[in-house]
Structure 1
Amino acid sequence: MNSQQFSPYITFERTQWADFRQMSDWSLTDVDLRELQGLNERLSMTEVADIYVPLSRLLHLHYTKAKELHQDTNRFLQLDTLTVPFIIGIAGSVAVGKSTTARIIEHLVSQWPGKPRVELVTTDGFLYSNEQLEELGLMKKKGFPESFDVSRLFRFLSELKSGEERVTAPLYSHMKYNVLQDEEQVLMRPDVVIVEGINVLQPPKLEKHQARTFVSDFFDVSMYIDAEEPMIEQWYKNRFNLLRKTSFQQPESYFQKFKDLTEDEARAVSDRIWKETNRVNLVENILPTRNRADLILQKGEGHKVERIHVRKL
């Protein structure tokens, strides 16, 4: 019996998925791998071609059908409404490579026929400020669902899907480890918006009688970047060590206190942060949302995608 028969997903191994590239005549022009890859990732052109070009093609099919449905609905209802942005959500653990995936997709979407205007928004900007987190006693749970201003994120997404001409999103500095108070990202009627963050598939924590609305209700397509927990842990610790030798050395870095750690001390600190914060968040809040995604990219060694799960339609 086919194990996929009773699964909501169709699973494609890497070699199967790579064959779909032949169905696209899109060229990989002006791809700067250094700008796309993460700090501790070594992105290859083969990975982009075999995994992300077919993925981009699939996303383009969804985008095209959404535009066609809008036009057909306008004709049926005798309306002349403007299209609203097509929103792609990307979720997954800390250090799993969400940002790299988002940047690759952003680049490929910008190369679609018609050159759609695309914006990439990270939900880090919707965290409460460090000052607010301290006041709420949540500083040690930064990144957990309760540390985000979900109401503000809802307003942002609602404005996008309402067709507002000008929508703003708060910005976050990883160097300062805080929301930037006087800066914002301005979106002027983009065609496609990519929303990337650990929390984008999580259900809201509700008060009694409060309406149940999900951030993902605003997404046209949602993705989850997956990997085995030991692998993600190692990627996190490798990244921490690289940051200790680079960004943490900067005078403006929030984490400058870690810049002079010995190798043993650094391993102990990264191990503690992983076990007390990131692993808990992954197991309790992030991983349970995986099967809410339309697409799951399952990674293996070296951040290479080994298989793709596509939700059945």
Structure 2
Amino acid sequence: MTPVSPADLAARIATHRCPGETLVVGITGSVAVGKTTLARQIAEALPAGLKVEIVSTDGFLKPNAVLEAAGLSMRKGFPESYDRAAMAAALAGLKHGAVKVPAYSHTSYDVDPAAARTITGADVVLVEGLGLAPDAAGQRPPLDLLIYIDADEDDIIAWFLARFMGLWDAAASDPSSFYARFRHMSEGEARQFALSVWNGINRPNWLEHIALARLVADIVVVKALDHSLSA
């Protein structure tokens, strides 16, 4: 494996650009593997003259009320929890004109209609999140490039627990936070609960669905515990 940096990835992405066209690049991998961070780092490393937008696939999750009515509340992040038709239409539309993309609130953990935005005239759109794995027919969403972030499970668990506990801790002074509902737990109980979420929800989703994107990715990077990348 050869060390790579976000700047290396940005340079590789830039070589695929065609002037006057929008390049749509997906970035996916397990929950907590660092998709949002890598998208931001790549955006910052792309040439300054380019108009770059970042879109999270979280906005294409079905609203909580819809998921609850369908008995899918505990399947959020799984393929059936996304409006895949809307996401495919939006990704394809980015190459042809203005597209309104939905947004997601990580405070309410629900789609936030008020935060939707319109993207037009972008040179590069980085689409980060879940829902980018191929479907049952082996077809991935309409992307020009797909980057898959791989990592050892022990490292992903460490990142997931650190993120969960950080949000749990912050919720002590933010009753509006989704994580406020877990504040009745002790620190040890919260950590055990987070681990149960990983084992019961995120791990099966990763192994059964998300990891399939690795097979159709154009670029696979491996992330180490210290967040360094190699390819």
1:254 deviates by 2.1
Deviations 1:35-93 (A, max 9, x none): xxxxxxxxxxxxxxxx1222222221122xx34xxxxxxxxxxxxxxx33111110100
Q: AA paired with 1:174?
A: H
Map residues 106-121 of structure 1 onto 2, 5 A cutoff: 106-111=43-48, 115-121=49-55
Map residues 1-313 of structure 1 onto 2, 5 A cutoff: 12-14=1-3, 17=4, 51-63=5-17, 66-67=18-19, 83-111=20-48, 115-161=49-95, 163-164=96-97, 166-200=98-132, 202-205=133-136, 213-215=139-141, 218-247=142-171, 249-305=173-229, 307-308=230-231
Say whether the 8 Å CA contact 1:84–1:160 is kept in structure 2.
no
Compared with structure 1, are the counterparts of its residues 168 and 248 closer, same or farther at alpha carbon in structure 2 (3 Å cutoff)?
farther
Counterpart CA distance in 1 for 2:211 and 2:105 is 25
Deviations 1:252-281 (A, max 9, x none): 112211124212211221111011100010
Say whether the 8 Å CA contact 1:127–1:148 is kept in structure 2.
yes
Segment drifting more, 150-159 vs 252-261? 252-261
Compared with structure 1, are the counterparts of its residues 120 and 248 closer, same or farther at alpha carbon in structure 2 (3 Å cutoff)?
farther
Aligned residues: 231
Compared with structure 1, are the counterparts of its residues 146 and 224 closer, same or farther at alpha carbon in structure 2 (3 Å cutoff)?
same
Counterpart CA distance in 1 for 2:76 and 2:27 is 19
Counterpart CA distance in 1 for 2:150 and 2:172 is 27
1:249 deviates by 4.0
Counterpart CA distance in 1 for 2:108 and 2:55 is 18
RMSD: 1.6
* Greater relative contact order (Cα < 8 A, sep 6+): 2
Secondary structure of 1:252's partner?
coil
Q: In structure 2, list runs of 5 or more residues that go unmatched.
A: none
Q: AA paired with 2:64?
A: N
Counterpart CA distance in 2 for 1:256 and 1:298 is 33
Counterpart CA distance in 1 for 2:33 and 2:106 is 17
Compared with structure 1, are the counterparts of its residues 233 and 258 closer, same or farther at alpha carbon in structure 2 (3 Å cutoff)?
same
Q: In structure 1, list runs of 5 or more residues that go unmatched.
A: 1-11, 18-50, 68-82, 207-211, 309-313
TM-score using structure 2 length: 0.94
Q: AA paired with 2:135?
A: P
Q: AA paired with 1:56?
A: A
Secondary structure of 1:214's partner?
coil
1:198 deviates by 1.7
Counterpart CA distance in 1 for 2:14 and 2:21 is 16
Secondary structure of 1:255's partner?
helix
TM-score using structure 1 length: 0.70
